[in-house]
Amino acid sequence: MKRNMSGKVCLVTGGTSGIGYVTARELAKVEANVVITARSEEKGKRSVEKLRAESGKSNINALIADFSFQSQVRKLVEEFKRQYDRLDVLINNAGAIYFRRTLTQDGIEMTFAANQLAPFLLTNLLLERLVSSAPARVVNVASNAHEGHVINFDDLEGERNYSFMNAYGQSKLANVMFTYELDRRLAGSEVTVNAVHPGYVGTNMGGNNGWLVRLFLPINRLWAIDVDQGAETVIYLASSPEVDGVSGKYYYQNKAVPSSPYSHDENAAKRLWEVSVEMTGLNS
Ligand SMILES: NC(=O)c1ccc[n+]([C@@H]2O[C@H](COP(=O)([O-])OP(=O)(O)OC[C@H]3O[C@@H](n4cnc5c(N)ncnc54)[C@H](OP(=O)(O)O)[C@@H]3O)[C@@H](O)[C@H]2O)c1
């Protein structure tokens, strides 16, 4: 059940393809003022044109940021605040998987930087805006890939031992633990925060790892759910009155479900928070 979102501002990171794109389109259809993020002006412009055409709505715009640069996350926040005086729903969706260990310009392992540190920084820098627009919502697109992983504080960036599955699983676990920790920190406010596993979805995920992987994406889609289905729970958490006031949960198929036992480790979540503050220079 989607409510009319007229007058509400929704920021969807990674709105150029996959789950973020469909989420942006569907929220625009129910009259939300939608802002997507894109990595380049050109891609942003193309996506906005397509989204407007498909939704039949003009209330969609783009802001530019590559999440592997913390400076671009900060610039995005400045630009967002300059253009919009409220934020009702923040959807941390942008994410990727990196088959080979690479470092960002900030010198941080790419998976941890883009999937965990960027949404951590973005959310914290926008928190004031969310609180002043409350009731407001944060939706973190995590994954069941978090299951079976731990936060490897001794080798967080896979310096000694990199496996893309571990790096991705750890980053998605970090998304879930960030959700729970933020919920604890937001107690008493009217800002809710929930995480979601969208299912195994036929998107462009993995396509940044070369032509061979891209060649397999259409085959992969044969056993994945389609993107519209994959975006359903994200849209539900962003817009349904059924989850008014619901916070600190992990959702799949429009239902709160248990996340892994480790994801509930409050000490590890606090430590992850502190490490993320340090690595983003949030307090400096
Ligand atoms: N597909 C699945 O089966 C699945 C399952 C569980 C969870 N998820 C999660 O769902 C979310 C969306 O993924 P998707 O499946 O929809 O994949 P997708 O089609 O590849 O879309 C990912 C989006 O994130 C953006 N993005 C990636 N890296 C970025 C960066 N460094 N800076 C800024 N934007 C970046 C992409 O921008 P570009 O268009 O520029 O690449 C794109 O808009 C991810 O967080 C993923 O972990 C997906």
Taking the centre of ligand 1 as the mean of its atom positions, its distance from the CA of residue 210, in whole angstroms, is 16
- Mean of per-residue pLDDT scores for the chain: 96
Based on the structure, what is the number of domains in the chain? Answer: 1
Give the pLDDT confidence score for residue 217 in this predicted structure. Answer: 80
Whether 257 has a pLDDT exceeding 90, the answer reads yes
Minimum-distance ligand 1 atom for the alpha carbon of 14: 43
Whether 76 has a pLDDT exceeding 80, the answer reads yes
Above pLDDT 90, what percent of the chain?
90
Domain membership flag for residue 207: yes
Question: Rounded to an integer, what distance in angstroms lies between the CA atom of residue 127 and that of residue 120?
Answer: 11
Mean pLDDT score, 198-207: 90
Domain membership flag for residue 30: yes
Give the pLDDT confidence score for residue 96 in this predicted structure. Answer: 96
Domain that holds residue 26: 9-278
Taking the centre of ligand 1 as the mean of its atom positions, its distance from the CA of residue 83, in whole angstroms, is 25
Taking the centre of ligand 1 as the mean of its atom positions, its distance from the CA of residue 282, in whole angstroms, is 24
Whether 93 has a pLDDT exceeding 80, the answer reads yes
Instruction: Name the CA dihedral angle for 19, 22, 24, 25, rounded to a multiple of 10 degrees.
Output: 180
Mean pLDDT score, 125-140: 98
pLDDT in tens, 215-228: 788 888 888 999 99
Domain membership flag for residue 53: yes
pLDDT in tens, 151-172: 999 999 999 999 999 999 999 9
Question: Angle 83-85-86 (CA atoms, 0-180°, nearest 5)?
Answer: 120
Q: Which of 98, 168, 180, 251 is catalytic?
A: 168
The tokens of 122 are what? 């973005």
Phi, psi torsion values for 78, nearest 5 degrees? -60, -45
CATH of the domain at 247: 3.40.50.720
Is 236 an annotated catalytic residue? no
Instruction: Name the CA dihedral angle for 212, 157, 258, 36, rounded to a multiple of 10 degrees.
Output: -60
Domain membership flag for residue 209: yes
Pocket probe mutation, ligand 1, options 25, 69, 143, max atoms within 8 Å of Cβ: 143
Confidence bin at 1 (pLDDT 50/70/90): low
- Ligand 1, residues at Cβ distance < 6 Å: 14, 16-20, 39, 43, 66-68, 93-96, 114, 141, 143, 197-198, 200-201, 203-205
Whether 146 has a pLDDT exceeding 70, the answer reads yes
Whether 284 has a pLDDT exceeding 80, the answer reads no
